Structures are given as C-alpha cells and as structure tokens.
Amino acid sequence: MHDLIDRYINQTVKKLNPKDREEVAKELEANILDMLGPNEDEHTIEQTLLSLGSPSKLADTYRLKRRYLIGPETFDFYWMVLRIVCLVITIVTTSLTLLTIFLSPQLPSVVDIIVKIVTTIFSALSASFLWVTITFALLDYFQVKTDTEAWDLKALRSLEAVPTRLIKRTESIVDLAGLSVFFVLLLAFYLRPQLLAVYRRGWESMPVFITGLVRPYLIGWMGVTLITLSVAVIKLHQGNWTPILFSLSAFCDLLGVLYFIFLINRSEIYNPEFFSIFSGGMPTWQTIAKAASIALLLLTLVSIADDAYSTFKRTRLNESVQAPAR
C-alpha cells in the first residue's frame, strides 16, 4: 500500500478508541482502494485523500457514540482544554493549600488537612468545569471557529507514519503542571525566603539564603519560568516539532539551567552559617555546586540533542513532504 495512504489511515484511527482502530483501519483501507481503482498514481491518491477530508473529521464519522455536551466540531478541543485546566488546577491548588497549612501558626490534624485539600480541590475543579464549559458553549453558540486545522495538499503530505516529530501530549501536560507548581514554590520562597532552610531535630532552622539578597534573583527565576511555561503551552498546541519551536524550547531549557548555575554559584547570597554544615565549609559547597552544575548542564544538552534528532531527522517518509515531480 502507498505510504501516504498508510499515513492517512494511521492519523485517522489514532483518534479513535483503541479497540476500534484495527477494524476501522481495514475498512478505511478497503474504501480508499475501491475509490482509487486501477489509478494509483501520486496525483490521484492525493486528490482522493483530500476528498475524504482531514483525519480528525473523518474519525468523527466512525465514532459509534456522538458527543453533544459541546458541539461535535469543538468537543475534542473542549475536552483537551478541560483536562489540562483540571490537571493544572488540581496540582496548583494542592500545592497552595499545603503551603497555607504549612505557614499557619498551628498545624492542624491529618484529618483536617485531608478534608481541607479535598474540599478545596473539589471547589476549584467545579469552578473550572463550569467556566470552561460556559466558555465553549458561548463559542459554539456564536459559531466561533476553534478548529484551526487546515486540510490541504501541504497538510496531507506532512502526515507521518512514524511519529518521530510528534510531541506527546502527556509530556506537554506534565511539563505545564510541573512548571506551574515550580512557579508557585518560587513565589512562596519569594514571600518567605526563610522557608528554604536546613531543618535539624533539636536545632533552630537555618536559612540557606540571605533574604534581601536572594529576592531579586527569585524574581528573575520566576520570569524565566513564565517564559518556559509559555513555550510549553505552544508545544501543547502545536503538537509536533518544527525548527522554530525546537529553537524556542532549546533556548528556554538552556536559559533555565544557566540561570540555575549562575544562582547556585553566587556565594554572596548564602547565609554564612549555611556553610558550617559542610566539613570543608564554603570550598566543599562550591565543589558540590560545580559538580551539580556540570551534571545538570550535560543532562540538558542530552535532552536538547534528543529533541534536535526528532526535529531534524530525515527519513524516507519525511521526504515525502516534498512535492512529487510532475
């Protein structure tokens, strides 16, 4: 079978329930071959696949259960946004609740902590569901187009049989959630820098940093995190690697790790008493900081190299993006 047909079928059935994919793939392949007949030249195949419509719209016709909470044309986008919002809200709400409990003068009982977390999350998720649903209901009522997928010859030729350049949605969502929690922690440490301390039983807590000196650096780190968070949103929306997106992602990764290396090696922002817990004092900490910096930088470069391989790898299938010779 022609690889373009194979790519089209793969792209269509992956949007369906896993148990239905094999049967739909066989049926769709048979339908396409019947439509083609004996004419299997490149141009005829392209025009036939274009006439069937985009894979997402064709997949919707194979679903046994129609979904009408939101209009069928916007339901997929609505469901994706709702899941992302609920995940991020759950993680951020839990983090904020725990921080609030931790900062309270009197620590409540375990039962009270669990009840407070559950009720707070339930309230936040209820509000999120309500507002996301209302927003999409209004978009659907006023017929605002949310499907930005273009279905033309260029889109057809860009389909890949092997998703070497795809960005997994789960990874993007995990990145969004992790960055959101990290931003909340940075904000908490900015408001109460003394929380970042060494805690030893029978001793008073020992702050790691000097409050007045570390706060400007925390503001800078929050700015870097917001930039990285914005790129993570773009990656989730884009769904596949492009040279521009790879450049943005690599820039943010390097910016984040270099800022961390810069911060961890600024000896003047540390509380002098902090170095007393190391046998060699400040020199020992500087050695640890440099080793951690090198290891983190190497891991980041490996991650960037892996993204670069996914973005710029040239395979026979990817070369089919180029227009065939006429």
Q: What is the pLDDT of residue 168?
A: 78
Sign of the dihedral through C-alpha 10, 13, 15, 17? negative
- Strand, helix or coil at 313? coil
Q: What is the pLDDT of residue 325?
A: 38
Q: What is the pLDDT of residue 12?
A: 85
Residues 241 and 311 sit within 8 Å (Cβ to Cβ): yes
- Strand, helix or coil at 207? strand
Q: What is the pLDDT of residue 37?
A: 80
Q: What is the CA 41 to chain-centroid distance, rounded?
A: 40
Using alpha carbons, list the distances in angstroms from residue 133 to 121, 139, 237.
18, 10, 19
Helices (H), 142-281: 153-157, 169-191, 211-238, 243-264
At residue 148, what are phi and psi to the nearest 5 degrees? Answer: -95, 10
Residues 303 and 252 sit within 8 Å (Cβ to Cβ): no
Q: What is the pLDDT of residue 207?
A: 87
Q: What is the pTM of this model?
A: 0.56
Regions in the chain scoring below 70 on pLDDT: 1, 63-73, 102-105, 107, 110, 141, 143-150, 157-164, 313-326
Q: What is the pLDDT of residue 225?
A: 92
Q: What is the pLDDT of residue 161?
A: 46
